[in-house]
């Protein structure tokens, strides 16, 4: 009986101290944040094409580089964290969130030194993403290659 009371007491404690969230509001904020990042990206592509005469692929490359740079700088100045707190997954899912995770790890472990701090911890979060991205790309490449050999893919 005592364990049931402790469980109930613990559940009440968790309920009381857990932040109350509204899923619809969180989703709307994520949508807005992700949309703003995408609009900024499209603006960069349009300016690169129209003002600098770059082709579509080069403009897209510049867009990616500038969004990564902006995310890294905002993370360094401790601004991106606030955007993530407000926009949730809308700020974490795009390429800017990936850059944020790499820079955050570097900043967090810089006190441990260049090699054993930054060097070993910088890919703590990003490393698995890179690893699984490479493995998945390789696997899909093999499937594509086999599909071409068998004739399923033209």
Is residue 30 located within the same domain as residue 92?
yes
Q: What is the average pLDDT score of the chain? A: 90
Is residue 129 located within the same domain as residue 139?
yes
- What whole-number distance in Å separates Cα of residue 68 and Cα of residue 134? 20
Is residue 84 located within the same domain as residue 48?
yes
**Mean pLDDT of the 93-115 span:** 84
Is residue 133 located within the same domain as residue 154?
yes
Cβ–Cβ under 8 Å, residues 126 and 102: yes
Predicted local distance difference test score (pLDDT) of residue 145:
95
Query: Is the residue at 9 inside a domain?
Result: no
- What whole-number distance in Å separates Cα of residue 77 and Cα of residue 92? 17
Q: Domain containing 131: what range?
A: 123-154
Burial of 63 (0-12, 13-18, 19+ CB in 10 A): buried
Query: Is the residue at 1 inside a domain?
Result: no
Predicted local distance difference test score (pLDDT) of residue 1:
56
Query: Is the residue at 11 inside a domain?
Result: no
Cα–Cα nearest to 41, from 21, 13, 61? 61
Overall pTM > 0.75: no
Counted domains in the chain: 2
Residue 113 confidence (pLDDT) above 90 = no
């Amino acid at each position: 009986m005592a364990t049931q009371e402790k469980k109930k007491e613990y559940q009440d404690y968790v309920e009381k101290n857990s932040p109350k969230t509204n899923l619809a509001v969180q989703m709307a904020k994520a949508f807005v944040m992700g949309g703003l990042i995408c609009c900024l990206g499209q603006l960069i592509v349009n300016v690169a094409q129209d003002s600098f005469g770059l082709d579509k692929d080069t403009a897209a490359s510049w867009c990616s580089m500038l969004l990564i740079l902006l995310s890294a700088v905002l993370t360094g100045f401790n601004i991106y964290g606030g955007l993530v707190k407000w926009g949730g997954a809308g700020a974490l899912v795009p390429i800017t969130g990936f850059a944020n995770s790499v820079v955050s790890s570097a900043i967090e472990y810089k006190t441990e030194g260049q090699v054993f701090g930054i060097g070993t911890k910088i890919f703590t979060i990003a490393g698995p993403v890179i690893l699984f991205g490479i493995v998945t790309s390789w696997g899909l490449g093999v499937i594509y290659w086999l599909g071409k050999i068998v004739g399923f893919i033209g």
